[in-house]
Structure 1
Amino acid sequence: MVAILLSIALATLDTAIANTALPAIAADLNSSPAASVWVINAYQLAAVATLLPFAALGGVVGHRKVYLGGLMLFVVSSLLCTLAWSLPTLTIARVLQGIGASAIMSVNAALISSIFSHERLGRGLGMNALVVGTSFAAGPTIASLVLSVANWPWLFAINLPIGLFALVFGWNSLPVTKPGTLTFDRLTAVLNVITFGALIFGLSQAAQLGSLSSVLIAMAVFLVAGALMLRREVGHPAPMFPLDLLKRPMFALSALTAFCSFATQGLAFVSLPFFFETVLGRDPVQTGFLMTPWSVVVALIAPVAGRLSDRYPAGLLAGIGLAMLSGGMVSLALMPADPSALEICIRTIFCGLGFGFFQAPNQKAIMTSAPRHRASGASGTVATARLIGQATGAALVALSFGISGEHGPVLALSIGACFAAVGSVASGLRLLTKPVV
C-alpha cells in the first residue's frame, strides 16, 4: 500500500508543481505563454488517452505489471524532463510522463481493492484520497520553495529518489494478480487513444480560446473514432470502454457523480485564482493561501469519509457531500464585494468538507458495483471520470470568460454549483437502486 500511495503522490504532485512552475519554464526556454501551456496539455492528453487501454491491459497481464511498468516510465521520463533543453524536448518528455502516470492511475483502485477486504475497502480508498489531497495542497508550496533556491529542472528531479523508492518497495510488496484469459485488442486501444486524445485536445483548445475550426475538427474526430470503437466492441465480454459496467445503474450513477464532482473542482480551481485576483483584488501570494484550505480539508476529511463508507451507503455520504459542495460554490459566487480572509476561508473550507466527503465513498461504490473480474475496467473508469471532469471544468471556465468577461469567475462558480447539485441528485438516486449481482 505504501508503494501505491507514493506513486499517486508523485503523479498528483507533478501536476500541481508543473502548473505553478509554468511561467518560470516559459521564461527560461524563451517560449510564449501560449506555447508553454503544452507542458501541461501534453501530460494531460497522454494520460487521459491511455487510461482505459492500460486498465484493459491490467486485466490481461495483471495489475502489478502495469503499475510497475508505469512507475518505471514515470521515473525515466522525469529524468528526461530534468535534462530537457527546449520546449519541444520537454513536451515530448511530458508525454512519456503522462503515459507513465496513466499506467499507475489506471490500476490504482484495482490494486487497492485487491489489498483490502470488501468490508475495509473504504479505509484504503480514504487513505488514497488523503494522499491525493495532501499532495495537491502541498504542490504549489513545494514548487515555490524549490524555485526560490534552484531552477525549474529540479522540480522534476525530486521525482527520481521518491520514484525509485516506490519502485523498489512496490516490487517487493505488491500482490501478484493472475493474468486474464482475454487478449489485448490493439486496434481498439488505438481507437480509444484517438477518441479521448481528440476529446481532451478539443477541450484544451476551447479552454485556451483556440480557433473554432480546431475545436470542431477535434470533436468530429472524437465522435467518429468513438463510434468505431463502440461498434468494434459490441458483444465483447470485457470491453475497453466499459459499456457493460455502465449498463449497471449503480455503476453508471457513481460514474456520473464522479464526473460532476470533478467538473465542479475543475471549475473552482481554475476560476478562483481569477476571482480572488481580478474581482477581489488579492495578490498572487494571498490567492495561494486562500486556495489552500480546500485541499487541506479534503485531505483531513477523506479518511473519515472512507471509514464511514464501510458502514453507511455511498449514495447518502456522497450526496450529502456534494450538496455541501454546491452550497459552498453558491456562497463563493455570492460573496460580498470586500470579504475578509476569514470569510473566504470559511467558504473554501465548506467546499473542501463537501468534496472530501464525496471522494472515498464514491470510489468504493464504483469498485464494489463492478464484478471482481472487471476490477480493471472499474479502476480505469475512476481515473477517466476524474481527468475528463477536470478538463471539462477548465473548458467551461474559458467559456464563462467569453460570455461574461470580467464576471466570468462568478458565472463559472455558479456552473460549478449546478454540476455539484446534479452530482448530489445522481448520488441520492443510488439509494433507490438495487445492486446487480
Structure 2
Amino acid sequence: MTQGASASATGQAAAQDQSSPWPVLWALVIGFFMILVDLTIVTVATPTIIEDLDASVNEVVWVTSAYMLAYAVPVLITGRLGDRYGSKRLYLAGLTVFTLASLWCGLTTTVEALIVARIFQGLGASLMTPQTMAIITRIFPPAQRGSAMAVWGATAGVAMVVGPILGGVLTDGLGWEWIFFVNIPVGLVAFVMAWRRVPALPTHAHSFDWLGVVLSGAAMFLLCFGIQEGHEKDWAGWILAMIAAGIALLVAFVVWQRLNSAEPLVPLSLFKDRNFSVSNAAIACMGSIGAAFGFPLMLYAQAVRGDSPTEAALLLVPMAVMSIFLAQPVGRLTDRLHPRQVMGFGFAASLVGFLILLWRLQPGVAVWEIAVPMGIVGIGNAFIWAPTAATANRNLPLRLAGAGSGVYNATRQVGSVLGAAAIAVLMDSRLAHYLPGAATHGEAGAAQIPDPHVAELFSKAMQDSLWLPAAMYAVGLVAVMFYEKPRHEGFGH
C-alpha cells in the first residue's frame, strides 16, 4: 500500500471513530491506569519486600525509582516515535513490553533482579503514555477535548492513590509478587480493547533529537542516583561530582534545545504560554508528592501501628474516595472558573490536610485521626489532577499539542523520579538520626516494633520525612497563583 493510500485508510479509520471517540478513550484509560498504578503500588509492599528479599529501605525505594527513571527518560522521544511509526503501534508495543516485564518482576527472587525487571516495565510505560494523550488530542473535537483530558488527568490522580490500596490487598492476601502478576490479565484485556477500538491514525516524518535524548537521560540518571545514594555513601566526593555533572548536563540540554533549529525534544516556545509553564510546575510538584508520601506513611502504619498491608492501605481509602467522587463535578468547574481559583483551592486544601496528618502521625492515634486529614487531602487532589491536565495544553495551537503532551508527561515523571530519590534520602537520614542501623534492616521490616520508645522514634523519623511532600504542596500553591485567564472559546459559560 502506498503512503498516500495508507494515510487515506487510516484517516478513514479515524473519521469513523470521530463520531464516538469515547470508547477509544476508555480503551486507552485501562492501560494508562495500569502503568500509573505501578508507580505507587510497591509502597505498601515495601516492608514485606525488605523482609522477604533481605533488602534495605534504600534498595526497595530503588525498585520504584528504577521504574520511574526508565519511564521518564525516553518519554520525550517516544511521543515523536508514535507520530512517525503510529501511535497505536507504539502503544501496543509498550503494553506488550510492560505486561511481560510484570511477569518477570513477580518471578524474581532478589532485589537486584527486581530492579532490573522494573526498568523494562518503565520502558514499556514510556512507550505507552505519550500515545494516550496524543490520540485523545487528535480524535476528540475541540468542544469535547477538555472533558476528555479531564478524564485522562483524573485517571492519573486516582491511580496514584489506588496503587497502594491495591498493593496492600494483594500483598496481604496473595503475596507481594501478585502486585505484578495482576498486570498480566489486565494487560491482555487492555491489548485486545486497544487493538479493536483505537484507530490507526496517519503518521508523519520527524527528525529525532538523539543528542537531546542522551543529554536529558544522562542528566536525569546522574541527578537521581546521586541524590538517592548520597546519604548512604556519606556524600562522598564522587557522589557530589555526579550531582554536579547532572546539573551541568541539564544546563547543556536546555542550551541545545535553544540552539537546535531542526526539531528539538522540548520546543522552548511552549513555555511562552504562561498556563503551560504553570501547569508543568504544578504537575512536577504532584508527581513528586505521589512518589514520596506513600513510603513513610506505609512504613509507619505497619511498623508502628502494627497494621497488615491491607489495613495500612485502607488508610488511603478516604483520599481515593474523595478524589473519585469529586472528579466529575470538578471537571465541569474547569471550563467555567479561573484555573487560579480551582487549583489554588486544591493545593491549599491538600496542604492543610497534610499538615494535620503530620501533626497526628504518632503511635496510638485513632484511625479516624488519620482518615480525616487523608480525606481533606483527597478533596484537594481532586481539584488539582484533572484541571491541571486540562489547562496545560488549552492555549497551545494544535500543531504543538503533541510536543506539549510529551513535555507535560515528562515533567510529571521527572517530579516523580526526584521525589522518590529525595524521600529515600530523608528516610535514610532521619532513621539514622533517631535509630542508627534501622535504615538498613530490622526496624524497617514488616513486623510491628515491640518497644514503645523505638516506635515513637520511628514515628518521628517518618514525620520528618513527610515534610517533603508538605513542602511540595506549598510550592504548588505558590505556582498556581500565576495562572492567567484561559483564552479558549466558551470559557466561563
**TM-score past 0.5 threshold:** yes
What is the Cα deviation at residue 101 of structure 1? 0.8
Code of the aligned partner of 1:105:
T
Match status 1:374 vs 2:400: yes
Q: Aligned residue for 1:192?
A: 216
Conservation of the 8 A alpha-carbon contact between 2:44 and 2:313: no
Quick one: distance in 2 between partners of 1:60 and 1:256?
29
Q: Does 1:315 align with 2:340?
A: yes
Instruction: State the Cα RMSD in Å.
Output: 3.1
Q: Distance in 2 between matches of 1:26 and 1:168?
A: 36
Task: Say yes or no: does 1:259 pair with 2:284.
Answer: yes
Match of 1:421 among 453, 470, 474: 474
Cα distance in 1 for residues equivalent to 2:469 and 2:181: 35
Distance 1:287 1:151 in 2: 15
How far 1:412 moved relative to its partner? 4.5
Pick from 67, 82, 88 the counterpart of residue 91 of structure 2: 67
Equivalent-residue separation in structure 2 for 1:114 and 1:255 (angstroms): 21
Per the normalisation by structure 1, the TM-score is: 0.86
Structure 2 residue aligned with 1:430: 483
Distance 1:84 1:396 in 2: 26
Task: Please say if 1:222 is aligned against 2:275.
Answer: no
User: Which whole-Å CA distance do the structure 1 matches of 2:188 and 2:115 have between them?
Assistant: 23
Partner amino acid for 1:392? L
The counterpart of 1:330, out of the listed 319, 330, 355, is 355
1:349 deviates by: 0.6
Partners of 1:113 and 1:367 within 8 A in 2: no
Match of 1:167 among 177, 187, 191: 191
What per-residue deviation string (whole Å, max 9, x for no partner) do you get for residues 178-200 of structure 1? 32343123232222221222232
Larger radius of gyration: 2
Structure 2 stretches lacking a partner, 5+ long: 1-24, 435-456, 489-493
d(CA) in 1 for partners of 2:112, 2:461:
32
Is the 8 Å Cα contact of residues 130 and 300 (structure 1) preserved in structure 2?
no
Alignment check: 8 A CA contact 1:322 1:420 kept: yes
Residue identity opposite 1:360 in structure 2: A
Does 2:176 align with 1:123? no
Q: Percent identity?
A: 26
Letter in 2 for 1:386: R
TM-score (norm. length: structure 2): 0.77
Q: CA deviation at 1:336?
A: 8.7
1:134 Cα offset (Å): 4.4
Partner in structure 1 of residue 32 of structure 2? 8
Partner of 1:365: 391
Query: Does residue 1:383 correspond to 2:436, yes or no?
Result: no
| CA shift in 2, pair 1:326/1:118, >3 Å | farther
1:54 paired with 2:83, answer no
Q: Aligned in 2, Cα 1:204/1:380: closer, same or farther, shift over 3 Å?
A: farther
Superposition pairs of residues 42-121 of structure 1, within 5 angstroms: 42-84=66-108, 86-121=110-145
- Give the drift of 1:363: 0.6
Q: Following TM superposition, by how much is the alpha carbon of 1:267 offset from its aligned partner in structure 2, in angstroms?
A: 4.6
Query: Is the CA contact 1:49–1:195 (under 8 Å) kept in the aligned structure 2?
Result: no
Counterpart position of 1:282: 305
CA distance in 2, matches of 1:265, 1:167: 27
Contact 1:332/1:413, CA 8 A, preserved across alignment: no
d(CA) in 2 for partners of 1:36 and 1:408? Answer: 18
SS at match of 1:58: helix
Distance 1:88 1:335 in 2: 36
TM alignment of 1:142-181, pairs within 5 A: 142-148=166-172, 150-181=174-205
Name the CA distance, whole Å, in 1 between partners of 2:39 and 2:388: 23
Partner of 1:353: 379
Is structure 2 residue 238 aligned with structure 1 residue 212? Answer: no
Aligned partner letter, 2:269: D
Deviation at 1:168, TM superposition (A): 2.0
Deviation at 1:360, TM superposition (A): 0.6
User: How far 1:357 moved relative to its partner?
Assistant: 0.8
User: How far apart in 1 are the matches of 2:175 and 2:468?
Assistant: 38
Label 1:409 to 1:336 Cα distance change in 2 as closer, same or farther (>3 A).
Answer: closer
